[in-house]
Every structure is written in structure tokens, then in C-alpha cells.
Amino acid sequence: MRFTIFQESRKGGREVNQDRIAYTYSRETLLLVIADGMGGHVGGEIAAQIAVRLFVERFHQEAKPRLRNPLGFMQDTMLRAHAALGAYASQFSMLETPRTTCVAVVAQGGQAYWAHVGDSRFYLLRQGKLIGSTKDHSKVQYLVDQGAISAEEAAVHPDRNKIYSCLGGLVDPVIDLSRRTPLKNGDILVLCTDGLWSVYPRSELSTMLTSTPILSVGPRIMREAEERGGPDGDNVSAIIVRWGPETLTDELSTTTDALAPGEFETEIEDTLTLADRTGSSRDLTEDEIERAIAEIQSTIQKYRK
């Protein structure tokens, strides 16, 4: 497998970055994942972190070195993340479950598969044309589909940030799964959060990415998106992959051929170190360990017949 990959997440005008992004690959399979923790909800960044970490960890368990069922893997992982968020909320008696969007892509055997929840997007571009994409689980997308508003109206609609499916929500997530889609050399895969797509029209992205090496144009897009977002702009995140050997000059592509079975390369952008929310999850001290052992030993003695 050969590809060129770029990923970056920027805070924008916000105080915290609630986006989380990661890619990881085995010799034969590549996983890309982005989660956008929902602002206005408690612990959005925690939700995004849990979803992304769970994806990476499950991938390491399942991709040996291929996933048996890529779509099943993504669906299952999202459901597990959804359950884990519910468990997290009840563990810390949170009034609201942490919530996040999630979009994941698996490339394996020359095919792409993707799954998403919410309004983080995936575009598959071939020679500047869109050949595959996700459809937002958002209120405005629904209105557009119904013919109630136009795409232009959607872009400025007051409810454009409202989504009806997410991980950690009250109702089970709606998870969209793609078809299996063959990849061709030179295809561009883009995963991004609304912080990027709301300020960067797809056509513009497509033009920039088709003509210029992604490792040089990627950072430019990110900086520009942050600027366009302005002083109160959203977090901006993207993972961009050019499939196949690099044809544009000065581009360093990655090959997975050197990885032994069972080996993975992983890149996770997570700025957050999860703070403990209650004393119950505090680390054990040396003293507590000794005391716990002494207590168990005395219990064993007591109940020995």
C-alpha cells in the first residue's frame, strides 16, 4: 500500500480544541478517523477523544493485518463508542452525556469504505471530481433534501449547526455506511470537520488539492481556514490522503510494505490529557496498594475454612 498523508487540527478562535483526529495503518489496511466533540455539551473534547481512541485501539485488535469486514468494524466501533460515552456519563454522574460526531474511512485491498455520524465529512475526489461523499446528518441537509431550502440558504441558515445523529446522544446514532468503492492512483481522500467545510467550498478544495502536493498545500489550507473562521471561528481539522505513489514532485509518500504482520504506525493528534473528574478514578498510591493487598490477605485468612 502506498499513499501520502497529511493531518492537522487547529483550535481556530475557540478556547479549546474539541476535534480529535488520527490515522493508523497496518501493512495492508489504513484507517482514518475524525471526531468533532460537540460544543455546548459537557465534555465534547472527551467524547471526541474516546471515539478516536476506541477506533485506533479496536483497529489494532482487529486488523491482523486486514479487517475482515471494514464496514462492520466501523459500525461496531461507533456503537461501542456510543455505549462507552453513556457509561462514562453514568460513571461520573454527568447530567448530559458527552457527544461527538465521527467520520471514519478504511482503505484496504484497493477499496475504500467509510462511515459517519453527524456533520463531519468525507470527500473522495478523482481528477477534481467528487465520486463519493458523506451526507450530513443535519437539519439543514434534511431541509435541502426536502427541497425546502437551497444549498445557498443552507450555508447561512441559523440552524446550520444542528445535527440529529451523534455518538453519545439520547437516541441511538444513525450510522451511514458507504458502499465498497475502488480507489485509483491519484485519488484524494479528505476527512474534515465543519470548521473546514463551512469556510472552504468543496470546489476550491478540490482544485487546490488536485494541482499541488498535499504536504505543501495542506498546511496552507488549514491556516487559511482558521483565518476565514475569524476571531470566533470553530476548530478546524482535516486528514488528507493522496492514494498511490506520488506523481507530483517533492512529495514524500509512505509505503506500508516494510511493516511486519502485527505492526502498526499510528499518529494521533490529541492535545488533551484527560483530567480526572472525581476522586474515584484517582491513581492508586503506593500506600493504597499495600493496604489493599493486606486487606485482601486478611479477608482470605478470615474466610479460610
Partner 1 sequence: MPVTNQALPGGYQLLNYRIDRQISRGGFSIVYRAYDETGTPVAIKEYLPASLVLRTEGDIVNASSAENLTSFRYGMKCFFEEGRALAKINHPNVVRVLNFFRANETVYMVMRYERGRTLQQQIQMRQDQMSERFVRQAFMHLLNGLREVHTHKILHLDIKPANIYLHSDGSPVLLDFGAARQTLTANRPKLAPMYTPGFAAPEQYRDHDRLGPWTDVYGTGASMFACLAAFAPQAADARLQEDHLVSAKKIWSGQYSDNLLEVIDWCLRLDPLERPQSVFALQRAIRDIPPPKRKLTFFGNLKRVLFSEIGA
Among 3, 73, 88, 123, binds partner 1 (CB under 8 A): 88
Minimum CB distance to partner 1 smaller for 249 or for 280: 280
Minimum CB distance to partner 1 smaller for 2 or for 80: 80
- CA separation for the pair 120, 106 (Å, rounded): 16
Asked whether position 166 contacts partner 1 by CB under 8 A, the answer is: no
Q: Using CB under 8 A, which residues numbered 186 to 215 contact partner 1? A: none
Grid cell 434534511 — which residue?
142
- Binding range to partner 1, per CB under 8 A, among 4-12, 103-111, 138-146, 276-284: 276-284
**Among 55, 28, 32, residue whose Cα is nearest residue 263:** 28
**How does strand 188-192 pair with strand 236-243?**
antiparallel
Q: Using CB under 8 A, which residues numbered 52 to 81 contact partner 1? A: 53-54, 57, 79-80
Asked whether position 303 contacts partner 1 by CB under 8 A, the answer is: yes
- 288: cell is 493504597
Minimum CB distance to partner 1 smaller for 216 or for 299: 299
Minimum CB distance to partner 1 smaller for 174 or for 208: 174
Asked whether position 289 contacts partner 1 by CB under 8 A, the answer is: yes
- What distance, in Å, lies between the first and last C-alpha atoms of the chain? 62
What backbone phi and psi angles, to 5 degrees, belong to 123? -120, 135
Asked if 123 and 193 count as a contact pair (C-beta separation under 8 A), the reply is: no
Asked if 197 and 116 count as a contact pair (C-beta separation under 8 A), the reply is: no
Q: Using CB under 8 A, which residues numbered 245 to 264 contact partner 1? A: 262-263
Asked whether position 96 contacts partner 1 by CB under 8 A, the answer is: no
| Angle, vertex CA 28, rays to CA 106 and CA 62, nearest 5 | 65
Interaction pattern, residues 36-55, with partner 1; x per rule: CB under 8 A: ----------x--xx--xx-
Number of residues that bind partner 1 (CB under 8 A): 39
Beta strands in 127-208 (DSSP E): 129-133, 176-177, 181-182, 188-192
Question: Exposed (0-12), middle (13-18) or buried (19+): which is 65, by Cβ within 10 Å?
Answer: middle
Among 39, 86, 186, 244, binds partner 1 (CB under 8 A): 86
Minimum CB distance to partner 1 smaller for 173 or for 195: 173
Grid cell 478504511 — which residue?
106
| Residue 96 Cβ vs partner 1, minimum distance, rounded to whole Å | 14
Asked whether position 219 contacts partner 1 by CB under 8 A, the answer is: no
- CA separation for the pair 145, 21 (Å, rounded): 29
Minimum CB distance to partner 1 smaller for 263 or for 267: 263
Question: Exposed (0-12), middle (13-18) or buried (19+): which is 270, by Cβ within 10 Å?
Answer: middle
| Residue 138 Cβ vs partner 1, minimum distance, rounded to whole Å | 23
Residues that bind partner 1 (CB under 8 A): 46, 49-50, 53-54, 57, 79-80, 82-88, 90-91, 172, 262-263, 273-274, 276-277, 281, 283-284, 289-290, 292-293, 295-297, 299-300, 303-305
